[in-house]
A and B are shown apart, each in its own frame.
Chain A
Amino acid sequence: MAIHPPQQRIWWREPIEKMEVAWIAIAFVWGLVMFFTMIAWHFWGQQNLANEAYRVQPEAYVAKVEAMTEQYKVGEEGDTGIEVVHPPAGSDVYLLARLWQWWPVLELEKGKTYRLHLSSADWQHGFSLLPTNINIQVHPGYEMVVTVTPTETGEFSIVCNEYCGIGHHTMSGKIRVVESKGGK
């Protein structure tokens, strides 16, 4: 039994059951299939997370976001006083995670491809775009660049899903996707 020494002293000389061999073969092939599915998605799938990232000083990143906000501000979000930014279609857009806010509100055009930069001014945060359900970890000191193409118009919420202190559950932001104003 499993709680006694094996009957055959040299246990690796034992024969293997046919059924066991078959199951091992199936499980092994399934492992290969899953392995190649991941690789194949890099060639044929549309959703692969970028490998592009840079080290950045948090202050330097904050400065970049401020510069973009200054340049492309189109208004404020309701009565929250939070800036809404409409950067040119297809440009680099910057989103800042900080205690406890995603800043600023981004207005993007449907069908246009943006380079979305993500970094944090302080602690780690979790970028979670809802209801689309895109989740990306955001670190201070690392600037990640995700190339993304919104495919539907509407309001999308950003919540934080990495615990970031007592205000974690109030941390939120927004991406608004609007119809393209034409032109490429």
Chain B
Amino acid sequence: MVAVTGVDVGRKPLAPSFRTCAVTGLRVEANAERLIKANAVAGVLFLALGGLFGLLVALTRWPAIHLLPAEWFYLILTAHGANVLLFWIIFFEIAVLYFASTTLLNCRLPAPKVAWAGFALMVIGAVVTDIAVFQGESTVMFTSYPPMMAKPHFYLGLILFAVGALVGCGIFFAALVVAKEEKTYNGSIPLVTFGALTAAIIAVFTIASGAIILIPTFLWSLGYISHIDPLMYKVVWWAMGHSSQQINVSAHVAIWYAIAAIVLGAKPLSEKVSRTAYLMYILFLQLASAHHLLVEPGISSEWKIVNTSYFMYLAVLGSMIHGMTVPGAIEAAQRKRGFNKGVFEWLRKAPWSNPAFAGMFLSLVMFGFIGGISGVVLGTEQLNILMHNTIYVPGHFHGTVVAGTTLAFMAATYLLIPLFFKRELVLKKLAQWQPYLFGIGAGGISLFMMGAGTLGVPRRHWDITFSDAPMGTEFSAAAYLMLGLNGICAVLAAAGGIAYILVVVGSILFGKRIPDGQPKPASAPQPAVTQYGNAGTLHLPGTLVLVGIFFLSFVLYYYVNWKYLAQLWPLR
């Protein structure tokens, strides 16, 4: 239905139709708008579905509730991973790519028919994989490690989805070229577009790795290939699996910058530093599959060290830079507006009741403190022995991909609704609370899963009481407590998720219509910081204190884990 209108406009590509948003002053092209809406809505639907599965999983892992029977637990867990990590995140990312290219560069979306074909492939792929999972013979987790085998259409769906996403990246690159040719902007591309470009470049690498491993696995499931080496599979699978996390980071960092700019008029402290930090993602993350292989047989320590330290942690350095420049830009903007008292007036008087800002800032803090620090610790060659495959691992990545990426994407939605759907938000009070509810829930599940993992609780495990096992083990009361708290936080996160869906769907359907604005001359709204850098104009003591606290926590937590490691039985 939607696709037909897209095709319609595609016939006359020389006369793209633009309108101007009354709220942001950004110009939006009709085809781009439809595709952004379609991808974002598809993403939100998969989030609703996948989030529900997450709740069911967490309630099953809460020993006092133990909701689902074993078969259903493993099936739903497989569905949870696929629907949120792949489908929700990637649909939304395609929307972000189209926004960062067409809207920010003020240009049309090239080849809308092809873009719709990509979208259709993604939808079909996602649905086919979900069908395979719910038919019950593909309960292999979304990582599908061989020799465990799923039905062929499980892999086929993933392949179709990936091809569709690749088409989306192609459209994004084409839009950059078109914008350049048609001179729709002056000078270099904006930082947010630069971040999206980083994400798209990594996506191409990611999807290529995915094809290299999933296509043979698909043929294996059909019987055309006799053997897939389980170790080789993991090396290549994680070249996809990990790099795709780097796409998420690039995308949500771009959103941090975008929200800070739109809400507060914040400007990067230095374009050079922020852009270089993005380049580091591209240059130093490709071999990161190594940190998923730290306790596998037959992989040398040298290879592990070189690749996990990404040549001395240069990609982590990239994130640490953004971790300073984003709050720095916010502080500079706030001080420019006169919130200059003391160290933290700028932070206290930040627009905490604006859900876009609140979500963005919580995402920034939790991504750094919870997801970031635990990720580096987990990815350290020897420390991995302590937590590999314990529930610490999902704890870590709910800190990155839920408290970080998902929360940032939710925050961005509050700005996208007026921009693309031309509606005001409904249920404003609920919207105001939503980032806190979801943020606390997501932060909580991350921390409590990490806590349980530190006590040895395995991941992807239906019954830690081992009631049906001949020998079993006894976990401490603390481990049970952690899983219970995890369940409670899961309920909070789910409530935050429901609030989000209510606000989004309600606004799209019933929000007050916003009339189109008058086309403005392409001049930028006056940014809050007019000069580059803050030398001579502003000091950023608040940001200094924040990164100081972060750094101390990082160092402390890192060495606490070494101390813990030193108590293990000697191993060689």
**Residues of A participating in the B interface, judged by any CB pair closer than 8 Å:** 1-9, 11-20, 23-24, 26-28, 30-32, 34-35, 37-39, 41-42, 45-51, 53-55, 77, 80, 82, 101, 105, 113, 118, 122-124, 126, 128, 130-144, 146-151, 157, 159-166, 168-174
Instruction: Report the 3 A-B pairs with minimum CB-CB distance, sorted nearest first.
Output: A157-B473, A31-B313, A161-B458
B558 touches A34 (CB 8 A): yes
Q: Is the interface of B mostly helix, strand, loop or mixed?
A: loop
- Map CB proximity to A onto B482-525 as digits: 1 under 8 Å, 0 otherwise: 00000000000000000000000000000000000000000011
B570 touches A146 (CB 8 A): no
A12 touches B570 (CB 8 A): no
Determine which residue in A8, A17, A35 has the highest number of CB atoms from chain B within 10 A of its CB, and name it: A17
Chain B: which residue is nearest A81 at the CB level? Answer: B470
Which residues of B101-153 have CB atoms within 8 Å of chain A's CB atoms?
104, 139, 141, 145, 147-148
Q: A100 to nearest B CB, angstroms?
A: 8
Q: A65 to nearest B CB, angstroms?
A: 16
Bound-complex Cα distance A138 to B297 (A) = 7
CB < 8 Å: which of B104, B272, B312, B386 contacts A35?
B312
CB < 8 Å: which of A26, A122, A168 contacts B551?
A26
B230 touches A24 (CB 8 A): no
Q: Which residues of A contact B470 (CB under 8 A)?
A: 77, 80, 82, 101, 170, 172
Bound-complex Cα distance A48 to B566 (A) = 10
Q: Which residues of A contact B187 (CB under 8 A)?
A: 5-6, 9
Bound-complex Cα distance A56 to B258 (A) = 53
A2 touches B191 (CB 8 A): yes
A11 touches B271 (CB 8 A): yes
Q: B183 to nearest A CB, angstroms?
A: 12
- Map CB proximity to A onto B447-477 as digits: 1 under 8 Å, 0 otherwise: 0000000011011111110101111111110
Number of B residues contacting the other chain (C-beta, 8 Å)? Answer: 112
Q: Which residues of A contact B316 (CB under 8 A)?
A: 27, 31
Q: A83 to nearest B CB, angstroms?
A: 12
B1 at the interface (CB under 8 A from A): no
Bound-complex Cα distance A143 to B175 (A) = 51
A160 touches B74 (CB 8 A): no
CB < 8 Å: which of B186, B271, B301, B562 contacts A48?
B301
Q: A30 to nearest B CB, angstroms?
A: 7
> What is the total of A-B residue contacts with beta carbons within 8 Å?
319
CB < 8 Å: which of A8, A55, A149 contacts B532?
A8
A148 touches B571 (CB 8 A): yes
Q: Which residues of A contact B299 (CB under 8 A)?
A: 51
A5 touches B186 (CB 8 A): yes
Bound-complex Cα distance A120 to B74 (A) = 21
CB < 8 Å: which of B382, B476, B527 contacts A49?
B382
Q: Which residues of B contact A123 (CB under 8 A)?
A: 145, 147-148
B390 touches A161 (CB 8 A): yes
Chain A: which residue is nearest B558 at the CB level? Answer: A34
Q: B232 to nearest A CB, angstroms?
A: 10
Q: B106 to nearest A CB, angstroms?
A: 10
Q: B244 to nearest A CB, angstroms?
A: 20
In the complex with contacts A1-B266, A8-B532, A11-B188, A169-B568 CB distance below 8 A: no
Q: Which residues of B contact A173 (CB under 8 A)?
A: 471
Q: B105 to nearest A CB, angstroms?
A: 9
Bound-complex Cα distance A77 to B471 (A) = 9
- Which of B29-37, B340-348, B533-541 lies at the interface with chain A? B533-541
CB < 8 Å: which of A55, A132, A159 contacts B568?
A132
A15 touches B535 (CB 8 A): yes
B458 touches A128 (CB 8 A): yes
For the A-B complex with A47-B385, A174-B471 known, give 9 more contacts whose Cβ atoms are closer than 8 Å.
A7-B532, A20-B270, A23-B547, A46-B570, A47-B569, A54-B298, A124-B148, A131-B456, A151-B570
25 A-B pairs with CB atoms under 8 Å apart are A12-B275, A13-B272, A19-B324, A23-B547, A24-B273, A31-B316, A34-B313, A35-B312, A38-B380, A77-B470, A132-B569, A135-B295, A135-B388, A137-B296, A139-B231, A142-B297, A144-B297, A146-B571, A146-B572, A147-B572, A161-B390, A162-B389, A162-B460, A163-B141, A169-B70
